[in-house]
Structure 1
Amino acid sequence: MNWRRLARALLAVPVFLVTAWGALALWFQLAPALALFLGAAWCLLGLAAVLVLARAPGWRHERKLLLAAALALLSMLGWWHSLAPSHERPWADDVARLLVSRVDGDRLELQNVRAFEWRTETDYTPRWETRRYDLARLESADLVLSYWMGPHIAHTLVSFGFSDGQRVVFSLEIRKERGEEFSAIGGFFRKFEQVIVAADERDLIRTRSNARSEQVYLYRLRATPTQLRSVLLEYLERAEALRRRPEFYNTLTSNCTTILFELARHIDPTLPLDYRLLASGHFAEYAYDHGALTPGLPYAVLRERGHINARARKAGPDAMDYSRAIRIGVPGIPASD
């Protein structure tokens, strides 16, 4: 067996993968015309290197070509590591402001709570508010999954309830610029920053169930007041960290589901990794299997009764009416809640 030839052939595989990665990085980071030009040059050089490695050695120019490919890779890596997240971009209206929180004992003040009135995805009335909460009244939390791309992918949110009727829902989202659209692939290539949004339920949940017609499911979480407070404060700490230092969104490692898993691990460090952290549409089932949802009923029943769309469409214009309506019949939630 020619071991040298085998080693060269095996080396061609990561060279091909790096070529594909660089082409996608250029596509998602640069203007289309420049991305096409530089991407074509990068791909030609990379594929030429793959062919040289895959064939038997001996071509007299192969060293020059491989050296050029290595220099191109170093340039690509230098450019990639120069990309930095920023707060200074022309943001879309719904992510234009960052959450600011102040905690003084049991008193919590949140600035820039989003309370948009959504008629459609593009027709809305912007509204940002300052709201105050009594942490001593924190009594419940609900897991919300909104399915926007088939049964395996969902956006995860957590809504906290207080005994005085107030609610605040948190969501980690991409921070889109004006005119940008979400791309799961782009999320691997530093296309977006991330932001934690705190909002009224008629904003963050209703826009998904009504304006976007996503399929939305709500589940009551099992947690003590101490655990609820811990998770809520962790959300605020993460939001403050992002406000002080922006970070890129990552489809795999830093998304709406992984942050919830990280926060839950502060309560139970033994929670295991699971494929359902990536296939986020199954995250509620993961939570059920680990005792985090209402006990005593099969998961299929919790899911069926937690589907809120029909109730959400019939809910009245008042925020409390909406919150009560979407919880009617959800297991673990008192009728008065």
Structure 2
Amino acid sequence: MTERPPLHRSILRTLCRGLGLFGILLVAVWGGAAFFYSTLEPTALRLGLSGLFPVALLACLAIRRPLYRRSAMLGISLILAVWFLTDPARNDRDWAPEYSQMADATVEGRVAHVTHIRNFTYRTPTDATPAYYDADYNLDTLSSVDLVTSYWAGSAIAHVFLSFGFSDGRHLAISIETRRQKRFAYSTIAGFFHHYELFYVTADERDLIGVRTDIRREQVYIYRLQLSPAARERLLLSYLSELHMLTTHPRWYNTLTANCTTEILARSGASPRWRLDWRVLLSGYTASLAYDIGLLDQHDPFATLQRLSLIKRPEGARPSANYSQEIREHLPLNTP
């Protein structure tokens, strides 16, 4: 009479098999999505691989001999891993108009030279007249750094970026975004894969903030970061250095690890404790994270500060030459 294995071993074996099957399904789905959202051309190749990979991986389950089955699965998975890890980000794609021109920055002595600062004039969210300009900024006149959060769909998700202010009244806004190709529509899911390059939009506030307040009619807040002059300068120089680096060494955007919030924290040198905070992923709460870190004015509770930091624009307003001054007239932008 055959002795049955103990019940707990049978349960453990079933559980391990279930977890193994779940892992295989997870790799199949992830691999198919990685190919589907990739930048491979032609489109037929991209779509074909997105279907072929999960089918090939799951077909391995039909192999009876465990060694052959595992070897086949491992080989197919390694092909995916090698392709994904060696898939290069590029700067020479057919970009959407707002991402077609990269800015660049160099620093000589105490002067930062920034080229191709974007200054589009928007008539509608999708209709704009492109324009760019170059400018020099004396680092000794850097007077403020503002955190901008823009909401368009609830309170949990927002786009977050910084704007650097100078004592002559000029502002240089830098927004870390996805660099989208013309042939692809925007997709939140695509940001988890190699679909978008990382792009530092360097723009005039009339463009970067104005399109959100006056054209898209989003809820936009501006908070003054409480930084020392030395910290402000280090932050700006870190941004400009990365801006220049991306012109020759492009990087992939990633919704989890290289997005508008994580890049700000990386550039600011925030401790790992704050980089792992749940509010990094739910970017709508980034301002409250900055408040808890001590980077925002602490005189009022955060709820009060947030209410007072909302930009209020008249109906039908359009960004003018004095836009930066207009949007700050009634905001609690205290300096340290």
Q: Is TM > 0.5 for Structure 1 vs Structure 2?
A: yes
* 2:103 match: 99
What amino acid does structure 1 have at the position aligned with 2:37? F
What amino acid does structure 1 have at the position aligned with 2:173? V
Q: Measured at CA, do residues 212 and 74 of structure 1 come closer, stay the same or move farther in structure 2, by a change above 3 Å?
A: same
Q: Structure 1 residue 275 and structure 2 residue 284: aligned?
A: no
Distance in structure 1 (CA, Å) of the matches to 2:64 and 2:226: 69
**Runs of 5+ unmatched residues, structure 2:** 1-8
Q: Measured at CA, do residues 299 and 260 of structure 1 come closer, stay the same or move farther in structure 2, by a change above 3 Å?
A: same
What amino acid does structure 2 have at the position aligned with 1:178? K
Q: How far off its partner does 1:291 sit? A: 1.4
Q: Structure 1 residue 87 and structure 2 residue 91: aligned?
A: yes
* 1:46 match: 57
State which of 213, 219, 230 in structure 2 corresponds to 1:215. 219
Q: Measured at CA, do residues 161 and 22 of structure 1 come closer, stay the same or move farther in structure 2, by a change above 3 Å?
A: same
**Which range moves more in the overlay, 25-34 or 81-90?**
25-34
Distance in structure 2 (CA, Å) of the matches to 1:179 and 1:272: 33
* 1:56 match: none
Give yes or no for contact 2:210–2:319 (8 Å, CA) kept in 1: no
Listed one character per residue, the Cα deviations across residues 99-147 of structure 1 (whole Å, up to 9, x for unaligned) are 2212222222111111111111221111111111121111111110011
* 1:287 match: 290
Q: Which residues in structure 2 correspond to 1:139-178 (within 5 Å)?
A: 139-178=143-182
**Which range moves more in the overlay, 142-151 or 17-26?**
142-151
Give yes or no for contact 1:146–1:155 (8 Å, CA) kept in 2: yes
What amino acid does structure 2 have at the position aligned with 1:328? E
Distance in structure 2 (CA, Å) of the matches to 1:192 and 1:174: 5
Q: Structure 1 residue 20 and structure 2 residue 17: aligned?
A: no
Q: How far off its partner does 1:279 sit? A: 0.6
Q: How far off its partner does 1:39 sit? A: 3.2
TM-score, with length taken from structure 2: 0.88
Secondary structure of 2:267 counterpart = helix
Distance in structure 1 (CA, Å) of the matches to 2:279 and 2:310: 20
- Report the number of matched residues: 324
Q: Measured at CA, do residues 196 and 157 of structure 1 come closer, stay the same or move farther in structure 2, by a change above 3 Å?
A: same
* 2:320 match: 318
Q: How far off its partner does 1:64 sit? A: 5.0
Q: Structure 1 residue 133 and structure 2 residue 134: aligned?
A: no
Give yes or no for contact 1:206–1:312 (8 Å, CA) kept in 2: no
* 1:299 match: 302
Distance in structure 2 (CA, Å) of the matches to 1:262 and 1:249: 14
Give yes or no for contact 2:146–2:162 (8 Å, CA) kept in 1: yes
Q: Measured at CA, do residues 38 and 286 of structure 1 come closer, stay the same or move farther in structure 2, by a change above 3 Å?
A: same
Give yes or no for contact 1:140–1:162 (8 Å, CA) kept in 2: yes
- Identity fraction in percent: 38
Q: How far off its partner does 1:38 sit? A: 3.4
**Which range moves more in the overlay, 69-78 or 244-253?**
69-78
Listed one character per residue, the Cα deviations across residues 46-81 of structure 1 (whole Å, up to 9, x for unaligned) are 34556x6xxxxxx84666555443332232223223
**Which range moves more in the overlay, 35-44 or 59-68?**
59-68
What amino acid does structure 2 have at the position aligned with 1:305? L
Give yes or no for contact 2:148–2:161 (8 Å, CA) kept in 1: yes
Q: Structure 1 residue 202 and structure 2 residue 206: aligned?
A: yes
Give yes or no for contact 2:213–2:313 (8 Å, CA) kept in 1: no
* 2:333 match: 332
Q: How far off its partner does 1:222 sit? A: 0.8
State which of 186, 189, 209 in structure 2 corresponds to 1:185. 189
Structural RMSD (CA): 2.4
* 2:5 match: none
Listed one character per residue, the Cα deviations across residues 228-257 of structure 1 (whole Å, up to 9, x for unaligned) are 111111100111121120010001000111
**Which range moves more in the overlay, 210-219 or 71-80?**
71-80
